[in-house]
Amino acid sequence: MEYQYGQNNENNNYQGNNDYIYYNSQPAGNIPPEPERKKKEKKSGRGLIPLCLVLSLVMGTAGGALGSGLMLQQYNKKEALQEADPETEMEKDLPELTEAAPVTQMTQTEAAGLSVKQITEMCLPSVVAITNKGEAEIKSFWGTFIQQTEGSGSGVIIGKTDSELLIVTNYHVVSGSKELSVLFSYQEGNENISDAEIVKGEIKDYSSAKDLAVVAVDLEELSRETMDNIKIATLGDSDELAMGDQVVAIGNALGYGQSVTTGIVSAVGRSVTTEDSSDTTGSANEYIQTDAAINPGNSGGAMFNMKGELVGINSAKVADTTVEGIGYAIPISDIREDMERMMQQETRTLVEESERGYLGITVSNVTNEINQAYDIPIGAHISSVAEDSPAERAGLQRGMVITELDGRMIRTREELIEYLSYYRAGETVTLTVEVRTEAGYEDRQIAVTLYTAKEAGIKQESGQSENSSQESQSTPYDQNNPFGNFFPFFNY
């Protein structure tokens, strides 16, 4: 018999409602009529009933006696075998296993975890909404101008110190922020949102490579009511997740307020390139894939297992009309050490440009392609050093690659510039740089005291160094600077 699935063919004679069609070797509708049976002559039934009754009594009595005799004989034989070898007889009494043994359906038990409603009630107080107000540089035919921006995301409360409430979120939720505001989930039900206690948040630390950030809220800004209605999330072990496990996602979808979706773990260990990932270094994460709905605004929100433990930070989804139910979360076990390190960093506030500290260098990115082609470490490559700048006085030289600032990883020039925007002129920072030697690159720690933009030879209006503008326009290729004039340089 042949089967064809997924279509209904009008040419066959199957009239059912199934999505598959059966084809028989003999077409329907041409079945030959059943041959007519010969009529038998009717015979008289007199005397038949009394004869049947007599036969039934005789056979019943004989059958009963025979059955009793056989059972008695079997019982005597069984007792004799038990006296000889009891274990052998017990094995013979066990039912034989067959290949077609029935399967018992598994029933839900307490081990399966809490319900989605219970997870929501227990975990919602640990999820917050984050609003990011910032500025974006827009380039157009008429020139470059600054546009005010505003975006919404989510965060999860993961800790509290004596002075701060700590929230984990995605880096792309807080990137480029001039002002961060945090709204707690229990206040979203207020009829007038202006009555809600919206507090200011500060970026404590972040990693663009991990798409991870920790935001701090001053406890002095929080009321007793807020402290009584929020919770710190319980961290779980994402390494225990397996395909098919149920998960619950909570986040500020589309900026409408906290919402709950549920699904399963579709896969683990996925590599993803998102629109917000750096186009120079790529993403360092391996993600949990889920069919729970992850939408814009869910970024930075929580993925919980059915014990109510935080196992992932919702991060991205596949946005394609041909794709449905593919969202991604960062596994909590992969970023636990990063979160703990970020939580211990000193919280800094953004410094006005007139008071901001500068190094006096031009830098460019070392992309993955350059790293592989020339074996130059990924980081902010120093293309030039301004004369008599703090960088020159500290010993920074062209060709060095900055990889850390005060223990914070630097993978791109944008990270270096953003980190420095939290330091004032006169402060001292410790840079980790990679220096080329005959044996290859080696780490060095260099302390640099920052200057103002004017002292460092930086024109704030144009961002160009007075001492190195010609180098920025065209730089010949050499082993210390393989970028040529194909890569833009930034002064800082």
Residue 433 near residue 396 (C-beta atoms within 8 A): yes
**Which of 134, 120, 238, 133 is closest to 185 using CA atoms?**
120
Q: How many degrees, rounded to 5, is the angle at CA 429 between CA 427 and CA 430?
A: 160
**Which of 308, 337, 294 is closest to 126 using CA atoms?**
308
Q: How many degrees, rounded to 5, is the angle at CA 454 between CA 208 and CA 487?
A: 45
Beta-carbon count within 10 A of 183 CB: 21
Largest CA distance in the chain: 134
Burial class (CB in 10 A: 0-12, 13-18, 19+), 410: buried
Burial class (CB in 10 A: 0-12, 13-18, 19+), 311: buried
Q: What is the DSSP letter of 81?
A: H
Q: Dump strand ranges (E) for 252-356.
A: 259-270, 287-290, 302-304, 310-317, 327-331
CA 147/CA 422 separation, integer angstroms: 22
Helices (H), 344-449: 368-374, 390-394, 413-420
Query: Residue 445's beta-bridge partner residues?
Result: 432
Residue 314 near residue 332 (C-beta atoms within 8 A): no
Give CA 50 to chain center in angstroms: 84
Got the DSSP string for 406-429?
TTEE--SHHHHHHHHTT-BTT-EE
Active site residues: 172, 211, 299
